[in-house]
Amino acid sequence: MSAPERFLERLNARRENDPSWVAARRQAGAARFAAVGFPTRRDEAWKYTDVRAIAEGDFALAADAEFLAERLAACALELDAHRLVLVDGRFNAELSSLDALPAGVSVTPLSQALEANHEQVGGSLGRLAGVDFSAFTALNTAFADEGAVVRLAPGTVVDKPIYVVLISRANEQAVMSHPRVLIEAGARSEATVIEHYAGESGAANFTNVVTEALLERGAIVNHYKLQEAALGDLHVASIHVDQSRDSRFNSFNLNLGGSLVRTDLVTDLNAEGAEAAYYGLFFLQGRQHVDNHTLVNHNAPRTFSNESYKGILDDRSHGVFNGKVYVKKDAQQIEAYQNNANLLLSDRAEIDTKPELVIYADDVKCSHGATTGQLDEEAVYALRTRGIDVAMARGLLTLAFAGEVMEQVKLNEIAERVERAVAGRLPERFNLADLVETAEAVQEA
Amino acid sequence: MASEEMEQLVRREYKQGFVTDIESETVPPGLDESVIAFISQKKGEPEWMLEWRLEAYRQWLKMTPPSWAHLEYPPIDYQAISYFSAPKKPEDRPQSLDEVDPKLLETYEKLGIPLHERAALAGVAVDAVFDSVSVTTTFKEKLAEAGVIFCSISEAIREYPELVRQYLGTVVPRSDNYFAALNSAVFTDGSFVYVPEGVTCPMELSTYFRINAANTGQFERTLIVCDNKAQVSYLEGCTAPQRDENQLHAAVVELVALEEAYIKYSTVQNWYPGDEDGKGGIYNFVTKRGDCRGDRSRISWTQVETGSAITWKYPSCMLRGKESIGEFYSVAVTNGRQQADTGTKMIHIGEGTRSTIVAKGIAAGRSDQAYRGLVKIGPRAKGARNYTQCDSLLIGDQCGAHTFPYQEIGNSSATVEHEATTSKIADDQLFYCRARGIDEEDAVSMIVNGFCKDVFQELPMEFAVEAEALLNVTLEGSVG
Amino acid sequence: MLEVKDLHVTVEGKAILKGLDLTVQPGEVHAIMGPNGAGKSTLSAVIAGKDGYEVTQGSILFEGQDVLEMEIEERARAGLLLGFQYPIEIPGVKNIYLLKAALNAAREARGEGEIPAPEFMKLVREKSAEMQMDPSFLQRAVNEGFSGGEKKRNEILQMLVLQPKLAMLDEIDSGLDIDAMKVVANGVNSLRSADRAILLVTHYQRLLNHIEPDRVHVLVDGRIVKSGDKSLALELEARGYDWVLEESVA
């Protein structure tokens, strides 16, 4: 049996109470996946990422969504938020708290949204991420039966973040999940949506998530993807964004966990004044492999994008950054900036970076830069003259390197968590976490 | 920019477009082992060379053309191409300039390359390749005095077989890529240079390539070897007559720099780009690679590319020797319907290796161009450094400019920096110049030349002047 | 406390210091003055251990220890602290990180434990108030986006927190307006104590109106050509440097 067949076989075990259009889509997804199979390194988009660990794996579908509240508290953010919890891809109502949603906002598990009014969901679901985008979106389309549907009525500003926690358990039999997140932001609405991938340290599951976000005129969405899954987890994600006039999408892609992680982030800026900001940080250790592919399509004049990704790579980790800015013909007076900076902490770590520009309009301001290098020796010296030894000076400067992206993070709980995680994982003998805590204490005092 | 003036841009004509009427001896179109045997026999090659070619041909048959470049063109019918064309009576080839067919000299005049004048005044030896066969080589004696070998590759195969055998195909293996394999099978001419240990070549070496006969592809092969502590500067100019059908050019250039050797390779490429509808023009699929084998060796590529309908070209450096240096300076100008996918590869293998890439792209008309580069830092390349600067200038809203820089970095002590910008000529810059009384076209020319300055200053003096003139011709009327 | 003997230093093969002698006792404030290019900044940089300075002859002893054998951070931990003329900006490294890491490093070197967090917080708040710096400065990256005056105040703040035995201040007054200079001078004066020495390197006498030196040295062409009490500074202010040079040649 081929790898695609093996995966699709699991589909037969699913319950069959889908509305007909959903069933048709599943079939289309399955057919597409069966036809293209898993990508190989001969595919340009997968040149640096080998997905055999996924293709050769044996993943069941989770049978339940049980998870202890204490366990959740141990790995989730301490955050005053509207919370939706998925455990191995299945909704856990007890751990979720969606009772205090203000008027004009709905946050619903996908299964319930389909049950309650599947036509309404059907209009948007799959509009941005069809089965053609990649083998993984096809696979997701075939399987997706759970996730989160976030709807904001025009003019709604959500008071608290919408926090989707996706837990991966340490199961005896590895499982796969294909969650689907749909965000529909009405005109001038404003919300922060967090996708937090976390779980038990022994987990070795496969998560294949697709997120679609539709921003109507003037909508503002802050989207966080915080990847803190176990170091054995396999994770493929694609995020698709469609932006109308004057809308703004701020993406924060913060990657600390997972053994193999691939994230595709695609934004279509479809009308004047639309603006996208991408911030990314990946800190890799051991044999972690993280691949970030971003694409901004400037489809209309006077659209703006700004991107900054930073990578810190240690041990034998492997990082990939492929950022593409596409400017359509006649999309004049656009501005697009892109930057990728990387620090290699070990000679056995590798970074492959490719910042691309594809431009068909002449009145544009586009620039990109990619640097890989060392810490500023002048700064190391300055710290040493204050009595700080070389190792710690380097640790501090590495933290500072990450800090330039973290400064953009508006949610303190996330900024502090990532900063602590980076500080705590730095290889130097000094534990910078203590410093970070002191700084936080001084700030709060 | 006024649209009327924009149109003028597309209407410029190819100034080097004329056909020299010299009887050629040409094999019928088509390629098989017998054609290769014919070429080899015509060239009076030894048996091993024929074997080498046939092996390449057999590998080529198993390969497919690359499809990853940002280029669009119909499939090439390799059986419709004639693989050999030589002026009649090759055995009676002129021995000095006086014996050269005046028509040929006239051709060079029209090209703006007064051969003897150039040779005499500037001290440049010219090995002119005119449809596959080396017509004349000047200054050979002076070079011989210095111990420098400069001759056609065919002559080198006959006269210096050991040297050729030692180095041919060691930088660009026969099976390196589709076009390199084809070239290895059918190459008909090109230059061979060997600079012995400790010698600085007493003059700049120059070759003008020109594709003349209809339906003939040009497959020249150039091999330059600089022994320890030797230096050479090599100039290559390319041009071809105007024809309706596309002509294929698939050259291979191999450079070998041994310890502390320095090779500077400059190209001004002005092949026929096709007419305003994209009809005709040269397909320029070239493999150029330099191998910095020795410690502290240096290879520098400088190119000004204004011609060809399609350019597919990535002059590269293999930086093996400790502290060896690779450089790539490029200006690519596309207009009309030209397409260019060009750039470089810097492969850092040795410790302390350094590379610099400065690529300037100017796209006008309905042309499309891409910079594609690879900087690879291997695990043993401690302290390697690369700096890449890659700027595009768009003139008009019908063209495209793209940047695809690959960086593969596997060493924590490496420093790799890449910067790229894409912009148009700023209205306020134009305004400023015009407010000083400079007309718009001159202002654009000034700004574009300024944009390319970093590259032009790497060219040998005469080439720099020619490059600037060429740039102005290519962009003539392109702005308002 | 500090003993510099016959110090010869070259930078990129060029001789800058050519036999400099200087002795500083605890409790003293010394001012090194001299024209531009005399080697003033080289002296403090060599004592702090900056790369690129080659000591070809002579010695530097600090409390009997051979300074030239010590790592940069060891010198700082031993109590030798340099205030930079042009403090570097370190994006992303918060002041508070730097202060705590530096203070704990020094304490550890003295065999003391880490400073308890509440005590540390109290200390830095107190000292920033003294330097008229808003506590929000502590959360900002070291010197990033600071004005010239803020950078200099930040240098002094570090001194106040780290309490060095010998504070070397390189052109600490350059670029300061009179109000900022008073703040900086007050900070330096508060450092004065019987067991601490201060070495001021300055081109102008102006600073010395606010920080009164015990000894003034004139450094010309790599050597100290004249030493005196604070009146020497006034004389230099009135007459310039040329006369000292002539006198020393004569």
Whether chain B has a CB inside 8 Å of the CB on A230: the answer is no
Which range is least confidently modeled, A114-123, A124-133, C194-203? A114-123
The three-state (H, E, C) secondary structure of B316-344, written as one string: EEEECCCCCEEEEEEEEEECCCCEEEEEE
Output the pLDDT for position B1. 36
Q: Looking at CA atoms only, how far is residue C3 from chain A in angstroms?
A: 20
Give the pLDDT band of residue B218 (cuts 50, 70, 90). Answer: confident
Q: Is residue A308 part of a domain?
A: no
Q: What percentage of residues in chain A have a pLDDT greater than 70? A: 94
Confidence at residue B24, expressed as pLDDT on a 0 to 100 scale: 52
DSSP character for B226? E
Whether A61 and A180 share a structural domain: yes
Nearest by CB to C101, from A390, A396, A400: name it.
A396
Residue range A135-164, pLDDT digits in tens: 999 999 999 989 999 999 999 999 899 999
pLDDT at B22: 46
Q: Is A433 on the interface with C (CB under 8 A)?
A: no
- Across the interface, which of C71, C97, C121 has its CB nearest the CB of A396? C97
CA separation for the pair A32, A35 (Å, rounded):
5
Q: What angle do CA B147, B238, B228 make, to 5 degrees?
A: 25
Amino acid sitting at position B296: R
Residue B10 clears pLDDT 50, i.e. is over it: no
Range in A103-112, A114-123, B326-335 the model is least confident about: A114-123
pLDDT score of B460 more than 90: no
Residue A154: in which H helix or E strand, if any? none
Rounded CA gap, B316 and B314, in Å? 6
pLDDT value of residue B91: 43
CB contact under 8 A, A345 and B412: yes
Distances from the Cα of B82 to the Cα of B32, B216, C171, C224, angstroms? 11, 5, 78, 85
The residue with greater pLDDT, B90 or B34, is: B34
In this structure, what DSSP letter does residue A164 have?
Answer: E
Residue C120 in contact with partner chain A when CB distance is under 8 A: yes
pLDDT band at B215 (very low <50, low <70, confident <90, very high): very low
**B159-181 tens-digit pLDDT:** 899 999 999 889 988 888 888 99
pLDDT tens, residue by residue, B327-345 = 999 988 888 888 888 899 9
Q: What are phi and psi of C203, to 5 degrees?
A: -90, -35
Specify the pLDDT at position A438: 64
Burial of C99 per CB tally in 10 Å (0-12, 13-18, 19+): buried
Whether chains A and C touch (3+ CB pairs under 8 A) is answered by yes
Considering only residues 364 to 403 of chain A, which have any Cβ-Cβ distance to chain C shorter than 8 Å? 376, 378-379, 381-390, 392, 396-397, 399-403
Report the complex ipTM.
0.79
Q: What is the pLDDT of residues C134-179, one digit of tens each?
A: 888 888 888 888 888 889 999 999 999 999 999 999 988 887 888 8
Specify if A362 maps to a domain: no
Q: What's the one-letter identity of residue C245?
A: L
The DSSP line for C166-214 is: EEEEESTTTT--HHHHHHHHHHHHHH-BTTBEEEEEES-SGGGGTS--S
Confidence at residue B71, expressed as pLDDT on a 0 to 100 scale: 79
A331-335, B98-102, B258-262, B411-415: range with highest mean pLDDT: B258-262
Q: Which residues contact B41 (CB under 8 A, 6 or more apart)?
A: none
Mean pLDDT of the A76-102 span = 94
pLDDT at residue B149 tops 60: yes
Q: Tell me: pLDDT of C23 over 90.
A: yes
The residue among A202, A210, A215 whose CA lies nearest residue A171 is A202
Structure tokens at B352: 């302390």
Instruction: Show the domain range for A115.
Output: 3-271
State the greatest distance between any 2 C-alpha atoms of chain A, in Å, as a whole number. Answer: 71
What DSSP assignment string belongs to B81-94? SB--EEES-GGG--
Least confident of C15-19, C57-61, C236-240: C236-240
Look at residue A252 and give its three-state secondary structure. strand
Query: B479 pLDDT exceeds 50?
Result: yes
Chains in contact with B, counting 3 or more C-beta pairs less than 8 Å apart as contact: A
Using the beta-carbon criterion (under 8 Å), do C117 and A441 form an inter-chain contact? Answer: yes
Indicate the pTM of the whole model: 0.79
In sequence order, the 6+-apart residues with CB closer than 8 A to the CB of B198 are B227, B228, B229, B230
Q: Give domain status of residue A421, yes or no.
A: yes
Q: Which two tokens stand for residue B273?
A: 């780009």
Sign (positive or negative) of CA dihedral A411, A415, A417, A418: positive
The tally of domains found in chain A comes to 2
B41-81 pLDDT, tens digit per residue, is 888 888 888 889 999 999 998 988 888 778 788 888 888 87
Concatenated DSSP letters of B176-188 = SSHHHHHHHHH--
If pLDDT is split at 50, 70 and 90, which confidence band does B477 have? low
C147 token code pair: 């004005």
Match domain C2-249 to its CATH number in 3.40.50.2300, 3.40.50.300, 3.40.50.720, 3.20.20.10: 3.40.50.300
How do the domains of chain C map onto residue ranges? 2-249
Q: What is the pLDDT of residue A264?
A: 97
The helix/strand/coil state of B358 is: strand
Segment C55-74 mean pLDDT = 92
- The residue out of A271, A305, A328 marking a domain boundary is A271
Provide the total of helices (H) and of strands (E) in chain B, helices listed first.
12, 23
B356 in helix, strand or coil?
A: strand
The answer as to whether A367 is a domain residue is: no
- Which residues of A are less than 8 Å from B396 in CB distance? 362
Distance separating alpha carbons of residues B271 and B276, to the nearest angstrom: 15
In the prediction, which pLDDT does B7 show?
Answer: 41
Question: For residue A257, which amino acid is it?
Answer: G
The answer to whether A234 touches A266, Cβ cutoff 8 Å, is: no
Q: How sure is the predictor about B93, in pLDDT bands with cuts at 50, 70 and 90? A: very low
Please name the residue ranges forming H helices in A65-220: 69-75, 110-124, 135-143
pLDDT the model gives residue B243: 55
Range with top average pLDDT, A122-126, A175-179, B95-99: A175-179
Residue (of C21, C65, C59) closest to C166 by Cα position: C65
Question: Residues A68-90: what's their mean pLDDT?
Answer: 93
Say what the pLDDT of residue B473 is: 67
Residue A429 lies in a domain: yes
Highest mean pLDDT, choosing among A205-219, A429-443, B80-94, B147-161: A205-219
Please check whether residue C7 is in contact with residue C211, taking contact to mean a CB–CB distance below 8 angstroms. Answer: no
Token readout for A179 is: 């969650």
Among residues A207, A238, A271, the one where a domain terminates is: A271
Task: Name the residue among B279, B331, B288, B289 with its Cα closest to residue B310.
Answer: B279
Burial bucket for residue B439 (CB in 10 Å: 0-12, 13-18, 19+)? exposed
How many whole angstroms separate alpha carbon C97 and alpha carbon B62?
62
In a 10 Å sphere around its CB, with 0-12 CB exposed, 13-18 middle and 19+ buried, how is residue C75 labelled?
A: buried
Q: Does C70 touch chain A (CB under 8 A)?
A: no
Chain-chain contact of A387 with C90 (C-beta, under 8 angstroms)? no
Helix, strand and coil percent figures for chain B, each rounded to 5: 25, 35, 40
Region of residue A299 (phi > 0: left; psi between -120 and 50: alpha; otherwise: beta): alpha
Dig out the tokens for A107 from the structure: 């946050």
User: What pLDDT score was predicted for residue B88?
Assistant: 46
**Confidence class for position B211, pLDDT limits 50, 70, 90:** very low
Beta bridge partners of A445: none
What does the block give as tokens for B457?
Answer: 């200053």
Partners of A319 in beta bridges: A290, A351
Residue C182 C-beta-side C-alpha neighbours within 13 Å: 3
C169-213 tens-digit pLDDT = 998 888 788 888 888 999 999 999 999 999 999 888 888 889 999
- pLDDT of residue A273 exceeding 90, the answer is yes
Give the mean pLDDT of B206-226. 69
The overall average pLDDT reported for chain A is: 90
- The CA distance from A351 to A290, in Å, is 10
In 3D space, the residue among B186, B182, B194, B190 whose CA is nearest the CA of residue B209 turns out to be: B190
Is the pLDDT reported for residue A436 higher than 80? no
Residue C204: its pLDDT value, please?
80
Listed residues A251, A271, A291: the one ending a domain:
A271
- Are A8 and A148 within one domain? yes
B429/B418 Cα distance (integer angstroms)? 26
Question: Taking a C-beta distance cutoff of 8 angstroms, is the pair B387, B470 a contact?
Answer: no
Mean pLDDT of chain B: 77
Contact A84, A66 (CB under 8 A): no
Q: Cβ contacts of residue B343 below 8 Å, gap of 6+?
A: B314, B328, B330, B359, B370, B371, B372, B373, B374, B404, B405
Residues above pLDDT 90, as percent of chain B: 24
* Residue A285: CB atoms within 10 Å: 19
pLDDT above 60 for B284 = yes
For chain B, say whether A330 makes contact (Cβ under 8 Å).
Answer: yes
A244 and A111 co-located in one domain: yes
Domain-by-domain residue ranges, chain B? Answer: 3-474
* A381 in Cβ contact with B448 (< 8 Å): no
Say whether pLDDT at A305 is over 90: yes
Phi, psi of A128 (to 5 degrees): -95, -30
Rg (chain B; Cα; Å): 22
Q: Which positions ≥6 away from C122 have C-beta within 8 Å?
A: none
